[in-house]
Amino acid sequence: MSIAGTRVVRVEDQKLITTGGTYVEDLRGDALTGAVHAMFVRSPIAHARITSIDTSEALAAPGVIAVYTAADIDLPPAPVDPVTQSWLADGVVRYVGEAVALVLAEQRYQLADAAELIDIDYDPLEPVSSIDAALADETLLFPEHGSNVMQVNGKEFDEKTFDDCEVVVTRTIVNQRVAPVPLEVRGAACTWGDDGRLMVWLSTQNAQIARTVVAAGLGVGEESVRIVTPDVGGGFGAKVGADPEVVALGWAARHSGRAIRWTETRSENLTSMTHGRAQQNTITIGGRRDGTVLAFRLEVVQDTGAYPRLPFLPILTELMASGVYHFPRVETASRAVATNTAPISAYRGAGRPEATAAVERAMDLFAAEIGMDPGEVRKANFIAPEEFPYQTPTGASYDTGDYATALDRVLEAGGYADLRAEQARRRASGDPVALGLGISSYVEVTAGDDSGGEGGRVDINPDGSVTAYTGSSPHGQGLGTSLAMLLSDQLGIPLDKIAVRHGDTDEVPKGIGTFASRSLQMGGSAMRLAADQVIARARELAANMLEASPDDLELNVDQGVWQVRGAPASSTVTWAQLAERAGEGELSADEWYDEGAPTFPFGAHLAVVEVDTLTGKVELRRLIAVDDAGPVVNPLAFRGQRHGGLGQGAAQALLEVMNYDPDGNPTTATLADYSFISATELPDFELVNMETPTTRNLLGVKGIGEAATIGSTPAVHNAVVDAVAHLGVRHIDMPTTPVRVWQALGDARKAEAK
């Protein structure tokens, strides 16, 4: 019986829930003996010239080893196309939380007092705190660039695109800025060895990319940098690579001659770590009154924050603009603009949730305009199963899908017809607690064309156990268990004899890491290739030991032995016996896998909410979901990924927003102000299974890490609007907080009274 596809408790969890994980903050050992502590002094102003910095008093403070500013760091700035970013603010600060100085002290408690003694004189500049202010170009973040627009993509729109449409709906919607809030904040420890190499322990999603960033920043070869990731307490995309602080710490360790430890505070994380989403989207959808959509247009304005870390995010939104629908005409365009806010980077889904949110709101708006059920409108426009592989008008090549079946399963599981009947009864009776139903049908892209492949290595040890090395680097997903399951299934070696190692650039010199839901389909396929090579070599060795032809040998995976086909059971060789006979490296294989084309997971969600129309309070009552990512290796881990994604997506629809005031000051800089969801706000999720394999990798799998987030946000959002639609509300921007719902109801009453 294959272990793949069965529920297996994650092997990682035993340590995490007993003795506990080892995070950057927990590190001890000879290499960090006597390490000093670091603290970044950050700007309290969103936009200002730095006219002077006096560090003399801080340098004289107890325990202080050094205070560094941009004038001290003799490194070229980091390229953040089309501009650059200094490792510490040089001459101008561009957001509250930007690092201006770096303090080193013997003890952590000495840092805050020393930081207070640094006298920094700021000459305030006009802040650019919103997309509209950025587009006005009245104040420029980078005068040398000549505009706050950092990137433009797309063609001019055709004026005749909607000419044959009976109905056209246009709406500008906001996909709000959110903070990733990983359980473990950012942290690093580093030291330069006697061999001239920099050792960095870093909370990151991909050690190899972090090594590239740090080495480039310091102007040294990658062979001079070793990155090791201990346990990582969440990342959600925001821990891809290495932030500028890590390069500054590496430089400071070299300059001071001391090992350094740094862990940020929670409020520092909220204001200084990269944020996600932050798009303003204008959707235009047109079609016939029978529900057929003829044209869709999406105009994206991406807030990049102060520095354009990932300006291609809106291009991903454009790529996925048409979602699961066969729209005859699709037009997209995007602009990315700089503002005096924290930089925007990847966050669970990275551009794809924004696309789904836009097109799924568009479908609901269109359905409302023509008076048709939103589920029926979707079914009338789905890409049909026989059309796959399907080339979208925006250039995506979908591999496999069955969107109608996914939606049918969700609606049936949710009892959609009965829910609509209950909604009608409540409306007819004037019940102040309104029922809302929200649908989303989604497709997302995982392991994109330029994701670069992944590495995998398998070593059979002398005792017959396995040590596997992967370039993927998990941070809570249970990938180690899934990879071990694949190897156990392939090699016939028990799970408890398989160790999966990752996150050390000396052990795994080549790798890409974890993002874009790529780990299993890329890392797992690489591991499959490596195991195949080991099996091929083992076959030859076993044949020699059993004095048989290799073609007559088979691997009995149930017992984990090699045997001659049809011979007595006594004619077997174990992996341990093979390893004992093998020469060094003979039962090892190191492979690189690159599938060359992305996969496209898909699904459908149904959200059921209740809205108190007297107060605006929203309660999420049910969330039913299909998330189809192909064959499931470990249903337990798969379920966990879906649960996390559903909660995170619902949180954006209902609660989460990172706010700035007109002066560019963050007003949600602590967890007392930044609303996040908890178990008390979430129902028991109702998960419906569906598996549609892909042909684009060796395992037939697609990514699941971000899928549930992508589908749940618009489902919950649509449900809230649907709950109050009979009262004249057509749209409410996220998050749909009680205040926003209450205001929307008030505005609708005023409009009706006119």
Whether 437 and 464 share a structural domain = no
- Is 576 within a domain? yes
Whether 651 and 717 share a structural domain = yes
pLDDT tens sequence across 74-122: 999 999 999 999 999 999 999 999 999 999 999 999 999 999 999 999 9
Mean pLDDT of 651-678: 97
Residue 602 — pLDDT band, cuts 50, 70, 90? very high
Residue 449: predicted pLDDT: 62
Q: Which residue has the higher pLDDT, 378 or 1?
A: 378
- CB contact at 8 A, 366 and 351: no
pLDDT tens sequence across 108-157: 999 999 999 999 999 999 999 999 999 999 999 999 999 999 999 998 99
Question: The pTM is what?
Answer: 0.97
- CB contact at 8 A, 295 and 359: no
Beta bridge partners of 151: 336
Whether 481 and 515 share a structural domain = yes
- Is 659 within a domain? yes
- Is 211 within a domain? no
Number of Cβ within 10 Å of residue 486's Cβ equals 28
Whether 560 and 639 share a structural domain = no
Whether 615 and 742 share a structural domain = yes
Whether 421 and 501 share a structural domain = no
- Is 672 within a domain? yes
Cα–Cα distance measured from residue 558 to residue 494, given in angstroms and rounded to the nearest whole number = 10
Whether 625 and 569 share a structural domain = no
- Is 202 within a domain? no
Residue 726: predicted pLDDT: 97
* Angle CA 637–643–648, to nearest 5: 130
Least confident of 291-300, 548-557, 736-745: 548-557
- Is 198 within a domain? no
Cα–Cα distance measured from residue 379 to residue 295, given in angstroms and rounded to the nearest whole number = 16
Given 98, 125, 152, the domain boundary residue is: 125
Residue 616: predicted pLDDT: 98
pLDDT above 70 covers a percentage of the chain that reads 99
pLDDT tens sequence across 202-232: 999 999 999 999 999 999 999 999 999 999 9
Q: What is the DSSP letter of 695?
A: S
Q: What is the DSSP string of 304-330?
A: EESS-S-TTHHHHHHHTTTTTB--SEE
Mean pLDDT of 307-335: 95
Q: Give me the chain's average pLDDT, please.
A: 96
3-state secondary structure 694-710: CCCCCCCCCCCCCHHHH
Residue 210 φ/ψ, nearest 5 degrees = -60, -40
- Is 479 within a domain? yes
Whether 623 and 574 share a structural domain = no
- Is 629 within a domain? yes
**Strand 167-178 to 92-93 pairing:** unpaired
Whether 633 and 726 share a structural domain = yes
Given 547, 563, 593, the domain boundary residue is: 593
Residue 451: predicted pLDDT: 67
Given 125, 142, 171, the domain boundary residue is: 125
Whether 281 and 424 share a structural domain = yes
Cα–Cα distance measured from residue 455 to residue 699, given in angstroms and rounded to the nearest whole number = 15
Whether residue 1 is predicted with pLDDT greater than 70 in this model: the reply is: no
| Structural domain boundaries, residue 687 | 276-446+598-753
Q: How many CA atoms lie within 13 A of 571 on its CB side?
A: 14
Beta bridge partners of 39: 103
Query: In sequence order, which residues have a C-beta less than 8 Å from that of residue 417 and are 6 or more positions away?
Result: none
Residue 315: predicted pLDDT: 95
Whether 284 and 432 share a structural domain = yes
pLDDT tens sequence across 447-485: 866 668 999 999 999 999 999 999 998 888 899 999 999
Cα–Cα distance measured from residue 440 to residue 461, given in angstroms and rounded to the nearest whole number = 49
Mean pLDDT of 25-33: 91
Mean pLDDT of 432-460: 92
- CB contact at 8 A, 323 and 394: no
Residue 323: predicted pLDDT: 98
* Angle CA 141–143–148, to nearest 5: 50
CATH number at residue 481: 3.30.365.10
Whether residue 550 is predicted with pLDDT greater than 70 in this model: the reply is: yes
Residue 104 φ/ψ, nearest 5 degrees = -115, 135
Residue 698: predicted pLDDT: 93
Question: Which H helix or E strand runs over 243?
Answer: none
Whether 573 and 603 share a structural domain = no
* Angle CA 259–265–267, to nearest 5: 150
Cα–Cα distance measured from residue 173 to residue 166, given in angstroms and rounded to the nearest whole number = 23
Task: Work out how many domains the chain is built from and give that number.
Answer: 3
